[in-house]
Structure 1
Amino acid sequence: VAEALHLLHERGIVHLDVKPDNIYVKDGVYKLGDFGCATLKDGSIQIEEGDARYMPLEILNDKHEHLDRVDIFSLGASIYELVKGSPLPASGSHFLALREGKLSLLPGYSLQFQNLLK
Structure 2
Amino acid sequence: MHDRGIAHLGAKPDNIYVKNGIYKLGDFGCATLLNNSLPVEEGDARYMPQEILNDNFDHLDKVDKFSLGASMYELIRGSPLPESGPQFLNLREGKLPLLPGHSLHFQNFA
Picking from 49, 53, 69, the partner of 1:60 is 53
SS of residue matched to 2:10 = coil
Mark the runs of 5 or more structure 1 residues left unpaired by the alignment: 1-7
More helix by share: 1
Q: Give the TM-score of the pair, scaled to structure 2.
A: 0.93
Picking from 80, 90, 95, the partner of 1:102 is 95
SS of residue matched to 2:18 = strand
What is the match of residue 25 of structure 1? 18
What is the match of residue 89 of structure 1? 82
What is the match of residue 47 of structure 1? 40
Q: CA deviation at 1:116?
A: 4.1
Picking from 16, 25, 34, the partner of 2:27 is 34
Q: Give the TM-score of the pair, scaled to structure 1.
A: 0.87
Q: CA deviation at 1:110?
A: 4.2
Which whole-Å deviations, capped at 9, do the CAs of 1:50-80 have from their partners, x for residues lacking one? 0000000000000001101110000000000
SS of residue matched to 2:23 = strand
2:107 maps to a residue whose letter is Q
Mark the runs of 5 or more structure 2 residues left unpaired by the alignment: none
Superposed CA RMSD in Å reads: 1.3
Which whole-Å deviations, capped at 9, do the CAs of 1:28-57 have from their partners, x for residues lacking one? 211100001111011110000000000000
Q: How many residues align?
A: 110
Does residue 69 (structure 1) correspond to residue 84 (structure 2)? The answer is no
Distance in 2 (CA, whole Å) between partners of 1:86 and 1:36 is: 25
SS of residue matched to 2:87 = helix
Distance in 2 (CA, whole Å) between partners of 1:48 and 1:113 is: 34
